[in-house]
Structure 1
Amino acid sequence: MTLWAHVVPFGDSTWTLPLAAAIALALLLAGYRAHAARWLVCFSAGIAMIVAGKLVFDLGGWSLPSIGFYSISGHAMQTTAIYPLLFMMILSAFGTRAARWGFYLGLAAALFMAITLLSGNYHTLSETLAGLVVGGAVVCSYLRWQLSFRPAHLASLVLLPLAAAVLVDMHGTVNPAKAALWQRAAHWLGATEKYTRQIYTDPASGMRLVSVRLRSILSSCSP
């Protein structure tokens, strides 16, 4: 397994959704109700954009092949939205300057995820940049926020994701739920075919190419 395959799961919903919930809980425990509500609304809006974009391509084939854009990268969006705020909150226990550096550390993690997505042929450059922009829009309103957390408030940032990892099979819960919602959306929209895109590197020229395929939803669902 390559380095990229080890990094990518940290931007997957099975890991980021518990972190997003932990951030909201920590904000509520610290008395930042308005910030918690804003976080949930903004993060949910970002997720909605990702889902809408994927449905538009998967079921309708909409894309901009001239710039290599087929859908917004959910990994890039969630990483950019979550990790700067998460690290900022954790390091706020050491003061305002440490909190600010935590924000920059989270941005560095998001950029590293972006490089991972490109190097591993998970997303194109335009898809990754779009994810970074949407995630940045979610989190940047917190950049100049003056934090005041106690260690007890921040405990949920560790305990909730750990509890989700130990007590709940997130892959067994999130992935079937996403598949079921996708199938229901296809039924509502009357879609019978699904578009998929694959990024690969041409061994002869070394160029990165994109292949788009169309297949029947019924055949893809059959055992």
Structure 2
Amino acid sequence: MHDLPLHLWFSITRLGGAGLTLPLAVAIALWLALGYSWRLAAGWLAIVGAAAGIVTLTKIAFLGWGIGVREWDFTGVSGHAMLSTAVYPVAFFLALLPARPMVRIAGVACGLAAGLAVGLSRVVLSAHSPSEAVAGCVVGALAAILFVWRAWDTKPGKLSVVPVAVSLLMLAVALHDVRVPTQYWVTHIALHLSGRDRPFIRARWRVGHDAPHRVPVAPSGRSAALPSAFA
């Protein structure tokens, strides 16, 4: 699998971008509210929001204070891995809710496999260490499984499979390459909270040099050297 062309790995990794997965999470909440209940929708948003909070806090801790685990090369939970492993299983579950239990289980498994593929792509592309990708997949999978467990006995039949599946698929295609500057935002929050003027950098932190380098800023105002915070 590591022999896949580089452009395919980039296509896989984009499936976990916040510009795609966060709108999908909101779309899932809207379908839940329209077809089932606002309580179910709120529960889903709370679960995925808590998982995103874990990602954000670990990144702020590293960028602002250099908190991580050098032995594991861990500087923060992978957001790409977390979001994809949380959102895609629930998207499949929602679309297949009127189906038989075994079909729903198969759909959730497919969603988890998609999340794992995104996590692997982050390691192959050197965007994350294995420990960070694994942590993202674990947090995302726990979020998805928790929601599926809570929603498993929801009465099916209020939503047709076709409009749900088609709308989510169209959204995924339309937003596949949309990017949002989450790393830029999280870095500014980390620097504001820590009182530093420069974030910690993985390469220097890994070898024990704690004085961070200044990050170049692109003309657009985004950090030129930083990918998405939910990377």
Report if TM-score (shorter chain) is over 0.5.
Answer: yes
In structure 2, how many angstroms separate the alpha carbons of the residues matched to 1:30 and 1:222? 44
Query: Which of 146, 153, 171 does residue 146 from structure 1 map onto?
Result: 153
The structural deviation recorded for 1:152 is 4.6
Counterpart secondary structure, 1:216: coil
Q: When you count strand as a share of all residues, which structure comes out higher?
A: 1
Which position in structure 1 is the counterpart of 2:214?
Answer: 216
Runs of 5+ unmatched residues, structure 1: 199-209
In structure 1, how many angstroms separate the alpha carbons of the residues matched to 2:165 and 2:207? 40
Query: Which of 10, 26, 30 does residue 35 from structure 2 map onto?
Result: 30
The structural deviation recorded for 1:185 is 4.3
Which position in structure 2 is the counterpart of 1:190?
Answer: 195
Which fold has the larger relative contact order, with Cα–Cα distance below 8 Å and residues 6 or more apart in sequence? Answer: 2
User: Alpha carbons of 1:71 and 1:178: their partners in 2 closer, same or farther (altered >3 Å)?
Assistant: closer
The CA RMSD measured in Å over matched residues stands at 2.9
The structural deviation recorded for 1:162 is 4.0
Matches within 5 A, 1:36-55: 36-55=41-60
Is 9-18 or 180-189 further displaced after alignment?
180-189
User: Alpha carbons of 1:197 and 1:158: their partners in 2 closer, same or farther (altered >3 Å)?
Assistant: farther
The structural deviation recorded for 1:108 is 1.4
Indicate if the aligned counterparts of 1:80 and 1:110 stay in contact, CA closer than 8 A. yes
Matches within 5 A, 1:43-192: 43-144=48-149, 145-147=152-154, 148-152=156-160, 155=163, 158-159=166-167, 162=170, 170-171=178-179, 174-175=180-181, 179-180=184-185, 182-192=187-197
TM-score by length of 1: 0.79
In structure 1, how many angstroms separate the alpha carbons of the residues matched to 2:187 and 2:200? 13
The structural deviation recorded for 1:49 is 1.1
The structural deviation recorded for 1:149 is 4.2
The structural deviation recorded for 1:184 is 4.5
In structure 2, how many angstroms separate the alpha carbons of the residues matched to 1:87 and 1:178? 28
User: Alpha carbons of 1:85 and 1:166: their partners in 2 closer, same or farther (altered >3 Å)?
Assistant: closer
In structure 2, how many angstroms separate the alpha carbons of the residues matched to 1:23 and 1:34? 13
Which position in structure 1 is the counterpart of 2:22?
Answer: 17
Q: Percent of pairs identical after alignment? A: 29
Q: When you count helix as a share of all residues, which structure comes out higher?
A: 1
In structure 2, how many angstroms separate the alpha carbons of the residues matched to 1:161 and 1:99? 17
In structure 1, how many angstroms separate the alpha carbons of the residues matched to 2:111 and 2:120? 14
TM-score by length of 2: 0.76
The structural deviation recorded for 1:88 is 1.6
Q: How many residue pairs align between the two structures?
A: 206
In structure 1, how many angstroms separate the alpha carbons of the residues matched to 2:65 and 2:207? 16
